[in-house]
Structure 1
Amino acid sequence: MTSSCNPVADRLRDAVHGLRGDGRGWILFSVALGWAFTLGLRFLVPALLPQVKGAFDVTNATAGLAITALWVGYAVMQFPAGVLVDRFGERTLLTASLCLSGVSLCLLGLSPVFAVFFAASAAFGLGSGIYGPSRGTVLSRTFTANAGTAFGITLAVGSLGSALLPNVATAVVGQVGWRFVLAGLAVPFFVAAALTWRVVPERSTAETKPAAVDRSPRRLVRDIVNTLSDRSIRLATVAVALLLFVYQGLTAFLPLYLQTKGLDQQTAALLFGLMFITGAMSQVVAGSAADRVGMKPVLLVVTAVGVVTPAVLTVTSGTAALAVVVAVLGSRMAVNPVTNAYIVGALPDQIEGAAWGFIRTAFFLVGATGSTFVGFFADAGQFDLAFLALAGLSAVALGCYALLPGET
């Protein structure tokens, strides 16, 4: 008899095997594929801003407004999307999101003036914003026994999309042009939409009826407020809002910060991509670990590492040492699948989508200000102080997770 020399790989293989059967593997594949394009395109548009600025002859500040519109559109769409999930089900919402995102990419690539590009960017934010709440609820409903692993794989694939798509686009944009890159990427969105419509099942009438009948806006708000009175949901929401704020601040300025430490632009970009790759790996490992040992221990360990690494980064120099710290920094992404699974699993079934959408709107709006926060310190020449502040906010999130009740 032989035994594997890699027990971690064996456990991951077993966990992934448990996600298959009864069409669940195809559901996971389609949801993860759609998320890879959705998340990857949110980081691709900023990567092409130099070409966009040149085409429309606009300033950095004006071009940046298009990115702001994208993220604000994504944030504000979370709550309406959650309500729509309860009414129409995940299959319809996921497919609609991918189709709307594809159409908006065509508009981005074919924009004759910057005003149209700005509107198309906002439209992409709104269309892609439908995806998140329905992604969360379909995974929670489909993978009741191993939601952590399912969330981990999905978000890991999204992180890989964030690492790969912008790099591929910037590598080919000189040959084919930014318009062809954006408009051409509409095609895989439409393909992903067709696959999603085919493999994701519709909710039964019994599952969608409670949200569709006799649920007034006042009652819906009251039910959501009552849900948020649950201490564990409230603590987890505050923690993830803080961590998303930190994540937005880090990802917006990490390449520039690395250049202040003596790295050239290309090396800084490679290390930035390395962060997403290690983040993808950590998301799969953390999701699987949460299913085996519980969510709270995993949240505490991952967040504790996320407290230390931004502070260590401020005193690190040299390409090799920075690469190690940035790789470890990527592990903080592992908190996302575990927290998502924790919150969605704790929400009442009858308002799961609406409550999850409301929570996502709240923490994405908070998180969107992270880049502005770090930018303020950067303009004052205080990058190190900004990263130390992010470490402190991560410590507050760690305290919130520590107060979560133990799992039974």
Structure 2
Amino acid sequence: MSSTSEPIGLPAEAASGPRWSRETKVIALIAVAHFVSHVHIMLLPPLFGEVREAFGVSYIQIGLALTAFNVASALLQTPAGFLVDRIGPRAMLTGGLLLGAAAIAAAALLPGYWFFVIAYAFLGVANTVYHPADYTILSATVDHRRIGKAFSIHTFAGYLGSGVTPALVLACAAVWGWRGGFLFAAGLSFTIALLVIVAGSILPRVVHKPGQQPAKGETKVGLGLLLSAPILRNLLFFLCMAMATGGIQTFTVVGLEAIHGTTFSAANVALSGFLLCSAFGVLLGGIIADRTPHHERVAAVGFAFTSTMAILMAWVNMPAAVLVGVMSLGGLLNGMIQPSRDMMVRAVTPPGSFGKVFGFVSTGFNLGGMMGPLLYGWLMDRGEPRAIFMIVVGFFLLALVTAITRAKPQGTTVWTR
């Protein structure tokens, strides 16, 4: 499989330095940017009540802002990936951070509900750059012997951003109101954008040979790559992961209460254990991903237990301590899957196409984010909470099938640095 995309290169001054030092700086810079992207994602949910009261609208109307975010991300993430491959990940990452800062500031400062929704749509546009740019940069700069750990640190930073944002924005809102919380997040995004501008010489750039023009039909070749069986398989994999983990994260508390009468506090502690251990599982998964080429086996182990966890949650009324232990272990193994997931995508991606491929398969997250809440909410409204966990199991198993039946890459890929 080939691509006509331009190769990724490093500035001479960056390439001449010690590799480990440069890699460490690149990983740290990309991790911080990914942290900020998850701050953007988790900014609104903790402040739902205050924002709803400020605009005098319903929860469904406030939820429309998140829908606008996900629709914009789903529609534009693949085009953003093509732009990453064409103009370079550094420029796109910087632009995404600046657009995110502007969108959040606009949501806080512009009057009226519809301005808020439009601002969130632009925040969704900003969100499209992170996965294509981040994975392009990491794949182009980190040695293949350490790429699994690099992916795991990147993902861990995102989990960390999701985890600290509720407490962070609620603390800001307690002092300055919800608009102050939003402006703090906007300031954080702007600050990291400046950091990328100032320290960005270590990041890769697109190298065009003098007088060279993009080949005719480059877009057609790119679309052919995206619609190939290995890439579509990974898109399905990401969609299944989003549907499964989204069901657990969003409906565990209300689902367990409806099925077993589990107390609100016990279910929330168990869910916190799942999320926290998922973050540390990502780091463990990065170490494992660098030590084995059999990433589908890692995914199989993780999916086997997370499926078992969901079945137990649906059918067994576990004591609180047991529930916390089961969900924490499930979270650890769920996190362990993530770096192997990224390595499976990387294994079928030709050099010069990281942006478009990772942008395309990451669209699965947005599709799951749009469909999952509607499906699971409908089941809750019909009084079928146990069906939620059974569907979660189904998506885990479908993801397992897509992983273990994938075609193994032939030979060793040489990555452009």
Please give the range of the TM-score, normalised by the shorter of the 2 chains: 0.7 to 0.9
TM-score (norm. length: structure 1): 0.87
Alpha-carbon distance, 1:406 to partner: 4.8
Residue 26 (str. 1) matches residue 28 (str. 2): no
Counterpart amino acid of residue 335 in structure 1: I
Alpha-carbon distance, 1:35 to partner: 0.9
Alpha-carbon distance, 1:82 to partner: 0.5
For 1:8, the equivalent position in structure 2 comes to none
CA offsets, 1:188-242, max 9 Å, x none? 2122112222334354553x569x93345x541343324542x444433322221
Report if aligned partners of 1:296, 1:406 keep a CA contact under 8 Å in 2: no
For 1:123, the equivalent position in structure 2 comes to 122
Report if aligned partners of 1:283, 1:335 keep a CA contact under 8 Å in 2: yes
Report if aligned partners of 1:40, 1:159 keep a CA contact under 8 Å in 2: no
CA offsets, 1:139-198, max 9 Å, x none? 111123122111111111210111111133235533431110111121221221122223
Report if aligned partners of 2:289, 2:339 keep a CA contact under 8 Å in 1: no
Counterpart amino acid of residue 296 in structure 2: K
Alpha-carbon distance, 1:264 to partner: 5.2
Report if aligned partners of 2:235, 2:363 keep a CA contact under 8 Å in 1: no
3-state SS in 2 of match to 1:112 = coil
- What is the Cα-based RMSD across aligned positions, in Å? 2.5
3-state SS in 2 of match to 1:317 = coil
For 1:392, the equivalent position in structure 2 comes to 394
> Could you tell which deviates more after superposition, 33-42 or 359-368?
359-368
For 1:196, the equivalent position in structure 2 comes to 196
For 1:176, the equivalent position in structure 2 comes to 176
Alignment of 1:246-265 (within 5 A): 246-260=244-258, 261-262=260-261, 265=264
For residues 390 and 285 of structure 1, do their structure 2 counterparts lie closer, same or farther at Cα, with a shift above 3 Å needed?
A: same
Counterpart amino acid of residue 350 in structure 1: G
Gaps of 5+ in 1: 1-18
For 1:155, the equivalent position in structure 2 comes to 155
3-state SS in 2 of match to 1:251 = helix
TM-score (norm. length: structure 2): 0.85
Report if aligned partners of 1:137, 1:344 keep a CA contact under 8 Å in 2: no
For residues 204 and 219 of structure 1, do their structure 2 counterparts lie closer, same or farther at Cα, with a shift above 3 Å needed?
A: closer
For residues 267 and 44 of structure 1, do their structure 2 counterparts lie closer, same or farther at Cα, with a shift above 3 Å needed?
A: farther
For 2:276, the equivalent position in structure 1 comes to 277
Give the Cα separation in 2 of the matches to 1:244 and 1:209: 40
Alignment of 1:3-402 (within 5 A): 21-145=20-144, 146-200=146-200, 201-206=202-207, 213-216=213-216, 219-226=218-225, 228-229=227-228, 231-260=229-258, 261-262=260-261, 265=264, 268-294=267-293, 295-314=295-314, 315-330=316-331, 331-362=333-364, 364-402=366-404
For residues 367 and 112 of structure 1, do their structure 2 counterparts lie closer, same or farther at Cα, with a shift above 3 Å needed?
A: closer
Alpha-carbon distance, 1:20 to partner: 7.0
Give the Cα separation in 2 of the matches to 1:127 and 1:204: 20
Give the Cα separation in 1 of the matches to 2:284 and 2:350: 27
> Could you tell which deviates more after superposition, 256-265 or 369-378?
256-265
For residues 296 and 115 of structure 1, do their structure 2 counterparts lie closer, same or farther at Cα, with a shift above 3 Å needed?
A: same
For residues 182 and 380 of structure 1, do their structure 2 counterparts lie closer, same or farther at Cα, with a shift above 3 Å needed?
A: same
Give the Cα separation in 2 of the matches to 1:274 and 1:113: 38
Report if aligned partners of 1:310, 1:388 keep a CA contact under 8 Å in 2: yes
